[in-house]
A and B are shown apart, each in its own frame.
Chain A
Amino acid sequence: MNLLVWTLTVPLVTAAIGGLGGPRKFKEAVMVGGLLLTFALCVATARAFLGGAVPAAFGDALRVDGLSALMLVLCGYVGLLSATYGVGYLRRNEARKLVTPRMRREFYGLIPAYVFAMLLVSMSNNLGIMWIAVELTTLASVFLITFHDKDTSLEAGWKFLVLGSLGLAFALLGTVLLFAAGQGHLGEGMAALNWTHFMQAAPSLHPFTLRLGVVFALIGYGTKAGLAPMHTWKPDAYREAPSPAGVLMAVGMLNGALYCLLRIHLISKAALGPAFSGDLLLMLGLLSVLIATPFILVQWNLKRLLAYSSIEHVGIMAVGIGLGGEAAAFGALLHMTYHSLAKPVAFFSAGTLAQLHSSSNFDRIGTGTFSRAPVASGLLVLAALMITGSPPFGLFFSEMTILKAGFFSAHVTATSIFLAALVVLFCGFAFQIGGIVLGPPRDPKDRRVPQPEQFDVAMVTAIVAAIVAIVSAFYLPASLLALIHAATQVVWGSA
């Protein structure tokens, strides 16, 4: 059976088993094992691609090119991480009698399901399938957001669902309009919605319809990616979702949505030239970075902080793509890669701290966590340095690449604003993280005495993720690098 199909089946099956029930150990084993296998399959697929093959299934509805391959590997990796961390996460809650059977079912069922949806997005070559897959991620994440079933989580869930569905409606309209733009040039049936066909037919697409379609598609998928001003669901969702799910959203959903944006952008680029959708992306990206800035400066909650940081990062990537040019595109993809590697560390350490203090609000966490949770705090600082693009970590290089491209391009003013925002962002982050990590240890008389930090599977996952992220800054496996370059070829091929 086809490699891609396997890659999709495994997480689906895992989800099914996880959702059904059974002893905890068994479920844990299934989830971790399944997602490990999935990751392996993703890597295998990528290898196959690098081997020169173009893995495809269902008449090119699923097709793996450079971009997809990169996405697959990243999604697989993040899926695995969130599975292992998730096991630890749930165990911690079990230990504190916080877990209901419903939660177990949802947790072990939804996380693999989510991974499945992400993978489906990443390998979809058919705009219709792509849309359906994205919708699936949305539906799955609603449960994860309302996982803890608190007032706030209901609120967050509702907002997410309404905004998300609206976005998807727009995305659908966009898809329809793109399809309409290709009247009679796309062929018949299922294949008519294939991205590859669009690329071939690009010159003969009807420009206005196409423009309209691109606009709606960008808004639609932009909502999922969390580009401003459609970003508003993100802080709420991230705060409410359990950290493992948070990672899936912050990396998986973000990458997936970015993937969709890229596909649309590429069609429009092929048909209308890079300027049209490029400028739109640049504008939205810049807006995102600018919007994220003040909220990071005056933030009151650790996870919301991370949410705004991911709004910032999707903005950075959008800017990178919008700037145009191979260097910038490469920078954006490199940024995506490094972000996918670094963000989990942030989520895991923050999640741990939040669990220890049974809240992610700064006032509850207090100051001087170094003294009571050295490992988590250390990782948090490390992660903060990484995601603020400090040297010598990877994001420094990717941001430098983008900035350089920006100053070399015609968009100097935009890039300068962008740079200024980055500076302020860094300061805000330093302030917030420093505020909780440093300082005197909170007084022992405090009644909300935090849990002690213990060395469990979640912690191990966090540490491993951190090591991977650090090493990757200096050394990326040649094959992964090849993938990034291949992806760059797709996004800004000389062809």
Chain B
Amino acid sequence: MTTSDLLILCAAGMLVSAYLMVGQKALFTAIRLYGVQSLLLGIVTVTTAVSESRPELFVTAAITVVLKAILIPWFLMRLIDRIGIHREIEPFLNVPASLLVCLGLTVVGYRVSTGFPGGAQGVSHHLIGVALSMLLIGLFLMVTRKKAITQILALLTVENAVFLVAVGVTPGMPLVVELGIAFDIIVAVLLLGTLVRRIVDRFESMDVSRLSKLKG
């Protein structure tokens, strides 16, 4: 199996993980899925690094795996352990309908991806398609899910999508920027985490749909 097949496989895997996230409600599973997704992203990065012999991508891969596949999932797990809330409550849209919508979003993503230099074939086309679809699906998750944690996960999915694009169509971002971005993401996640904690302490719930005092 060629590298390109591998790439496409991983990308597909990421998309599937996103779909699975939409499909279930257990928070732990969601976090694991995110971890897997990040892992796949790491593999994609490494593969590209090898195939296009771009050593600096190894660093990116390392960051990705360490940060996103290990640290963040661990942090989030710890968080929900502390809080002791394990299941997502009924989302605004039920699962089958959500999956249908996501299907539509995927179509949109792929359609757009055909505009890239690669045209409608080649690896990059798939990577972009997957990435954009993931992006939209992540956003869709944020719209439909009520639990703060799920929203964080969705946000991180979007983040992954962005990185997938970065890996797929760019010769890799400059290192400084990479580091900066990574740092920002860590801080953001920590912040989100602490906020979640405070919210739970305050409202005895992680259901952010209840945060609707501020109107008009």
Query: Which positions in A face B, CB cutoff 8 Å?
Result: 126, 128-129, 131-132, 135-136, 139, 142, 146, 149, 151-152, 154-159, 161-162, 165-166, 168-169, 172-173, 176-177, 179-180, 183-184, 189-190, 192-193, 206, 208-209, 212, 235-236, 239, 295, 298-301, 304
Q: How far is the CA of A236 from the CA of B213 in the complex (A)?
A: 10
Contact across chains for B188 and A139 when beta carbons are under 8 A apart: yes
* Cα-based distance from A189 to B158 in the complex (angstroms): 25
24 A-B residue contacts at CB 8 Å?
A128-B173, A129-B180, A139-B187, A142-B191, A146-B198, A151-B213, A154-B199, A155-B211, A155-B212, A158-B195, A159-B211, A162-B142, A166-B142, A173-B135, A173-B161, A173-B165, A176-B166, A176-B169, A183-B170, A190-B176, A209-B115, A235-B216, A239-B214, A298-B216
Q: B117, B155, B162, B213: which contacts A172 (Cβ < 8 A)? A: B162
Are B169 and A169 closer than 8 Å at their CB atoms?
no
For the complex, what is the distance from the CA of A142 to the CA of B112, rounded to whole Å?
34
Flag if B195 contacts A142 (CB, 8 Å): yes
Is the beta-carbon distance between A190 and B202 smaller than 8 angstroms? no
Name the interface residues of B155-175: CB closer than 8 Å to any CB of A. 155, 158-159, 161-162, 165-166, 169-171, 173-175
Interface size on B (CB < 8 Å)?
Answer: 42
Q: Is the CB of B95 closer than 8 A to any CB of chain A?
A: no
Closest to A190 in B: B174
A158 touches B148 (CB 8 A): yes
Cβ of B151 under 8 Å from chain A: yes
Q: How far is the CA of A162 from the CA of B188 in the complex (A)?
A: 10
- Whether the pair B170, A300 counts as a contact (CB closer than 8 A) is no
Contact B155 A152 (CB under 8 A): no
Q: Is the CB of A132 within 8 A of B177?
A: yes
Point out the residue from B135, B169, B191, B212 that lies within 8 Å of A161, measured CB to CB: B191
Which 9 pairs, one residue from A and one from B, show the smallest C-beta to C-beta distance?
Answer: A128-B177, A208-B115, A155-B211, A132-B180, A180-B169, A236-B214, A135-B184, A190-B174, A173-B162
- Is A162 a contact partner of B155 (Cβ separation < 8 A)? yes
**A193 to B180 Cα, complex, angstroms:** 14
Q: Which residues of B contact A300 (CB under 8 A)?
A: 216
Compute how far the CA of A239 lies from the CA of B216 in the bound complex, rounded to whole angstroms: 12
Residues of chain B lying within 8 A (CB to CB) of residue A152: 213-214
Which residue from chain B places its CB closest to the CB of A139 in the assembled complex? Answer: B187
Q: Which of A161, A169, A212, A235 contacts B112 (CB 8 A)?
A: A212
A180–B169 alpha-carbon span in the complex (Å): 6
Q: Does the CB pair A209–B117 fall under 8 Å?
A: yes
B74 at the interface (CB under 8 A from A): no
Known contacts A166-B155, A180-B169; decide if A172 and B181 are in contact (CB<8 Å): yes
CA distance A151 to B198 in the complex (A): 10
Q: Which residue in chain B gives the minimum CB-CB distance to A155? A: B211
Give complex CA distance A183, B169 in Å: 9
B38-77 contacts to A (CB < 8 Å):
none
> Is there contact, CB below 8 Å, between B170 and A180?
yes
Name 18 extra pairs, CB < 8 A, besides A183-B170, A193-B177. A128-B181, A135-B184, A139-B191, A155-B211, A155-B212, A158-B208, A173-B135, A176-B165, A176-B173, A177-B169, A184-B171, A190-B176, A193-B174, A209-B115, A209-B116, A235-B214, A295-B216, A298-B216
B192 cross-chain contacts in A, Cβ below 8 A: 161-162, 165
CB pair B195 A161 closer than 8 Å: yes
CB contacts (< 8 Å) of A157 on chain B: these are: 195
| B170 to chain A: closest residue by CB | A180
Q: Does B139 contact A (CB under 8 A)?
A: yes
